[in-house]
Structure 1
């Protein structure tokens, strides 16, 4: 049944959100199918109308449990919104001696990157607006959602970042800016998580929103999935989400999914909804775009394998495999790599974790690769879209010695010098 028509600011009658969006359901289901998205929940609020909800697919595939408007999803990068709002509250609180131009080093005295601008000039505004020029260090999220850098080592990790773009020269998306913001909030106001709960969730009656993992007794929580190339999700860590606000229409759109899919399904769905709400005279073919993007994702592994193969001008022999074994530490000793030899095969494990153990295959000389097919990496709960250089490890000796002393890993493609890990003696 159609909802009552909506009156806009001029008093003219416009179709209700339900009348506009119900016809999109078949396209949304098709976008989910192409992406391999297990479950999706969307909510749209337009001033003067009841909130609109639509739910698709499953929060739990095995148990065939459907998504509802009360399903709890992982917030992922939507937490950036709450972090920025929390910082605004801290800045507006006159009892705190900080403002948007406060330097990070003046709040966090241990913040000391080598680069002068990053160390001496970086402000709260810089970190929240993605204009620091700082390297991204995206490797910290490992398999099965392992956080490879402990919270206590955050400052050490941040201090290891280097400029990859001139300071304040351009917008460069970087999660680490919000890690810095969170540390500032913790230092000034006690806990960013407490601010989430006390200043946002509680006043808004958001009793089923959490600043961390939901309590075990919480019902209707979506399982997270990674999509394999066959577009069938498996029970693995993954989620994507999107939020958009249209001030002119006094409208907000939230799309939550529980799948790290073959493309950004919630983004396609959001754009589809925006076009409908704006009555766009020209429409994009999001089904075609979704098929194209999913096909590109499926080409990641063969393209990466081809790129690495093209580097093989020569294939120099490796040393005996036991020459590479040992424990290797980065400079500040918050990150280690364990290299082991088991049944004649060489493995490495980030932080020595069994869940981070991958077999190494010989690439050239003292260089090895840990690249595996996309489905294998997805089954391990990884985000398998890193460039070719990410999948190589180069061992080296010191001053012409035959003894391996260092392992170098280019985990940030914008920092081609990589990071050295020194072998423990």
Structure 2
């Protein structure tokens, strides 16, 4: 296999000097392995094959595999309504409540809103496990049921979350108690790295089943080799079990459940915890790069080559990016773990680059050019928001006295609280999500009773937040009572799929 070493070195220079672990399997066996950079920039400690990385949404492939074991033993079927499995599932949407199944939860086809406003600064998850079901029951259906793909971490809250039989894999931060754990980094506008709090989902919070796995490349090599071996056996024999393997029902796990791109000439669909693409075709649909390239389409991987089915997934959280591409026909796998939320989805670009090398593609894409293009798009995000806000602003309106807006406001499900207060030190109006000290943002008057909490991109990066939300996400609108003219409500349109902004009602001043 021909590896484009110079191209890889150039791509590494764009990725900067955080850490990465990369492995390639062929016929289920390790073919190539390398480490890039450091697990800890300050100490200069390098990455090795047992360095634990956050895996983010690579977790999603494991959850359906565990659910499959319950299906195999007859506890329920893939088509059993969730309400018959979880008695406290009482979502407000009648269609979801009556008909949603494990397959709908795990294939992102239920049409349920995909809000990420529970993910806050310093990788805090703002909704506790104790409030998890109340949070889920309050979610709205925003696209037609089983008629469209809408990626949603929260569907995985309804699935079994169990990880076993791995020595360097867990679902809680710092679970191993050791020092061979990758520090996590955000990326500033100048492409330098800044240390941020590692991923905390899974620590008694919402979001764990879709993002909480932490693992090392050594364990993931075993995991994906097991998937490939079980898939080879079960798809050849028609059986649902493989002797000695915990991976069951692979035909169900890997089969297409919903189209991700209905206009593609080659298959691009989602299965259960895995995406599928028939090459030549676009990859990386779950990662950050397609939005950074938009409106330009994603590159078709493996042009002018015999077609291959690729089963893949990305993972991204503040502080890490990850990617895995499986090629079942050759027992191949490309695994990439990183410990930085870079200015683009570097793990995805590395995964595609190595996939084309693995397949012997002669007419390869220029991934360095694509990396530069997506970095530039990421840097244009904040100026673009400023322009959008200016375009929609009504000039020369006056704000009411800051103290009139102060109060504790909660949503209808009582899962999210926004505290609005006047800072005694600088007399500035501020908000705090869930009333937390590290969730405080200054409010800037926009027009009338609308304020923004937008700060610089670097400040968001330092706080361990994503930097890809739209302008509406950073607006809050205070609503006065028509009779008293006193502020009684606040609205926040935190998800573009919602038909309108969510209402928060004042409980106290």
Normalised TM-score (structure 1):
0.88
Residue in structure 2 matched with residue 158 of structure 1 by the alignment: 136
2:106 aligned with 1:131: no
Q: Is the 8 A contact 2:28 2:331 kept in 1?
A: no
Rounded Cα–Cα distance in structure 1 between residues aligned with 2:30 and 2:350: 21
2:8 aligned with 1:28: yes
Distance 1:47 1:369, change over 3 A: same
Match of 2:486 among 386, 403, 408: 403
Residue in structure 1 matched with residue 421 of structure 2 by the alignment: 340
Residue in structure 2 matched with residue 8 of structure 1 by the alignment: none
Residue in structure 1 matched with residue 32 of structure 2 by the alignment: 52
Q: How much has 1:113 moved relative to structure 2? A: 2.2
Match of 1:383 among 454, 459, 466: 466
Residue in structure 1 matched with residue 365 of structure 2 by the alignment: 284
Match of 1:72 among 25, 47, 52: 52
Residue in structure 2 matched with residue 10 of structure 1 by the alignment: none
Unaligned runs of 5+ in 1: 1-14, 186-191
Q: How much has 1:50 moved relative to structure 2? A: 3.9
Rounded Cα–Cα distance in structure 1 between residues aligned with 2:19 and 2:326: 22
Segments of 4+ in structure 1 off by > 4 A?
none
Q: Is the 8 A contact 1:33 1:231 kept in 2?
A: no
Structure 1, residues 203-231: CA drift from partner, whole Å, max 9, x if none?
xxx31111222336323110010000100
Q: Is the 8 A contact 1:32 1:38 kept in 2?
A: no
Distance 1:37 1:388, change over 3 A: farther
Normalised TM-score (structure 2):
0.73
| Equivalent runs, 1:206-355 vs 2, <5 Å | 206-215=166-175, 217-237=177-197, 238-342=319-423, 343-355=426-438
Structure 2 SS opposite 1:240: strand
Residue in structure 2 matched with residue 369 of structure 1 by the alignment: 452
Residue in structure 1 matched with residue 230 of structure 2 by the alignment: none
Q: Is the 8 A contact 1:360 1:368 kept in 2?
A: yes
Residue in structure 1 matched with residue 223 of structure 2 by the alignment: none
Structure 1 SS opposite 2:466: coil
Structure 1 SS opposite 2:415: coil
Q: Is the 8 A contact 2:187 2:342 kept in 1?
A: yes
Q: How much has 1:416 moved relative to structure 2? A: 4.3
Rounded Cα–Cα distance in structure 2 between residues aligned with 1:124 and 1:143: 31
Q: How much has 1:415 moved relative to structure 2? A: 1.1
Rounded Cα–Cα distance in structure 2 between residues aligned with 1:36 and 1:136: 31
Q: Is the 8 A contact 2:186 2:193 kept in 1?
A: yes
Q: Is the 8 A contact 1:149 1:335 kept in 2?
A: yes
Q: How much has 1:62 moved relative to structure 2? A: 0.6
Rounded Cα–Cα distance in structure 2 between residues aligned with 1:314 and 1:118: 43
Distance 1:149 1:48, change over 3 A: closer
Rounded Cα–Cα distance in structure 1 between residues aligned with 2:323 and 2:17: 14
Q: How much has 1:392 moved relative to structure 2? A: 0.1
Q: Is the 8 A contact 2:394 2:447 kept in 1?
A: no
Q: Is the 8 A contact 2:17 2:38 kept in 1?
A: no
Distance 1:37 1:125, change over 3 A: farther
Structure 1, residues 152-173: CA drift from partner, whole Å, max 9, x if none?
1111111221122111012221
Structure 1 SS opposite 2:420: strand
Rounded Cα–Cα distance in structure 2 between residues aligned with 1:148 and 1:258: 22
Rounded Cα–Cα distance in structure 2 between residues aligned with 1:49 and 1:99: 33
Rounded Cα–Cα distance in structure 2 between residues aligned with 1:232 and 1:73: 20
Q: How much has 1:144 moved relative to structure 2? A: 0.6
Residue in structure 2 matched with residue 188 of structure 1 by the alignment: none
Distance 1:217 1:138, change over 3 A: closer
Residue in structure 1 matched with residue 85 of structure 2 by the alignment: 107
2:103 aligned with 1:145: no
Aligned residues: 385
Q: Is the 8 A contact 1:225 1:235 kept in 2?
A: yes
Q: Is the 8 A contact 2:23 2:30 kept in 1?
A: no
